[in-house]
Amino acid sequence: MRTALITGSTSGIGLGIAREFAKTKQYNIVLNGLEANGQKIADNLAKEFGIQTMFSPANMLKPEELRSMVDAANTKFGQVDVLINNAGIQFVSPIEDFPDDKWNAIIGINLTSAFYLSKAVWKGMKDRKFGRIINIASAHGLVASEFKSAYVASKHGIVGFTKTLALEGAPFNITVNAICPGYVKTPLVEKQIADQAKAHNLSEADVVSKVMLYKQAVKDFVSLETLGQTALLMASDHASTLTGIAMPVDGGWNAQ
Ligand code: NAD
């Protein structure tokens, strides 16, 4: 059994990816997130798929909690083979009103936590000559949209971080890739629909059709299964030369 540690996996995309990994029955899964029912989510996943899970409420803004989470995973499962840096937040505002604390939180959670966690798992991956790090970036890791300065900066940052670690990991069979999803209907996006409606002065229905899916050629939200299966491919043994990429899974948004 391999062990996958997925941050922000008690909601949305992270939970969707955890479920696709669980279905294979080939992974122990370390779940993480701020949801109060995190332990229950982890227990239910273990029961449903007959695998082992654990839950850590480590806060992405607290480096010592991130290191303790990796230590706890190593103690319970022996190692972390796959790290998926997924936890993330969003805030939408024109630059002149953008709150300083929101900037710092977005950079801390979306970007800097991936640095601390990658560093914490690196030596073990290097020693075992196997490691897979998958960063959930965004279509906004490749292109910008107005009113999302911190988010776009964090996601472009993580794409650069991905490429650098891919080079450093290459001699040790550690691959590092980013997935760049278009819009996925999760709590994060539900909240944005409301925020964007305010920023653009539009109705919520118009935000979905005129702002969000307007940019995607495929007029559907990206599914959790598509993202989970993409991550499973990147995590597999077959993917040893698939490294350093920022793969759009965005319904053709970046093709335009
Ligand atoms: P979500 O709000 O459903 O889930 C986010 C998860 O991150 C939650 O489990 C939450 O508890 C956790 N989290 C937030 N702050 C944390 C902190 N300080 N410490 C620990 N955990 C924390 O959001 P989502 O839509 O599933 O987003 C997941 C990732 O996918 C994010 O990085 C997001 O930027 C990215 N993404 C989302 C979309 C989309 O359309 N939903 C598109 C592209 C990229």
- The 10s digit of each residue's pLDDT in 128-146 is 999 999 999 999 999 999 9
pLDDT at 30 exceeding the cut of 90: yes
What's the gap in Å between 8 CA and the centre of ligand 1? 6
Query: Is residue 3 in contact with ligand 1, taking CB distance under 6 Å?
Result: no
Contact 224, 13 (CB under 8 A): yes
In angstroms, the CA 190 to CA 74 distance is: 35
Quote the ligand 1 centre to 90 CA distance (angstroms). 8
pLDDT, one tens digit per residue, over 194-243 is 888 998 899 998 988 888 899 999 999 999 999 999 999 999 999 999 99
* Position 37 pLDDT exceeds 90: yes
pTM: 0.96
Pocket of ligand 1 contains residue 136 by CB under 6 Å: yes
223 DSSP assignment = P
**Ligand 1 pocket, 249 CB below 6 A?**
no
Three-class DSSP category at 178: strand
Report pLDDT digits (tens) over 240-253. 999 999 999 999 99
Smallest CA-to-CA distance from 22 within 232, 249, 234, 251 is with 232
Report the pLDDT value the prediction gives residue 154, as an integer from 0 to 100.
99
Strands 246-249 and 53-56: unpaired
175 CB within 6 A, ligand 1 = no
Tokens describing residue 38: 């995190």
Contacts of residue 162, Cβ cutoff 8 Å, sequence gap at least 6:
133, 135, 137, 176, 177, 178, 244, 245, 246
Q: What is the pLDDT of residue 162?
A: 99
pLDDT in tens, 87-113: 999 999 999 999 999 999 999 999 999
Ligand 1 geometric centre to CA of 70 (Å): 19
Residue in 1, 11, 19 with CA at minimum distance from that of residue 227:
19
Query: Is residue 188 predicted with pLDDT exceeding 90?
Result: no
Q: Which of 104, 136, 179, 188 is the pocket-test mutation for ligand 1 (most atoms within 8 Å of CB)?
A: 188
Q: State the helix-helix crossing angle for 63-77 and 113-128, rounded to 10 degrees.
A: 30
Q: How far is the centre of ligand 1, averaged over its atoms, from the C-alpha of 188 (Å)? A: 6
Q: Which pLDDT band, with edges at 50, 70 and 90, does 32 fall under?
A: very high
**How far are the Cα atoms of 34, 129, 154, 238 from residue 126, in angstroms, in the given order?**
30, 5, 26, 18
Q: Which residue minimizes the CA distance to atom 21 of ligand 1?
A: 33
Does residue 135's CB lie within 6 angstroms of at least one atom of ligand 1? Answer: no
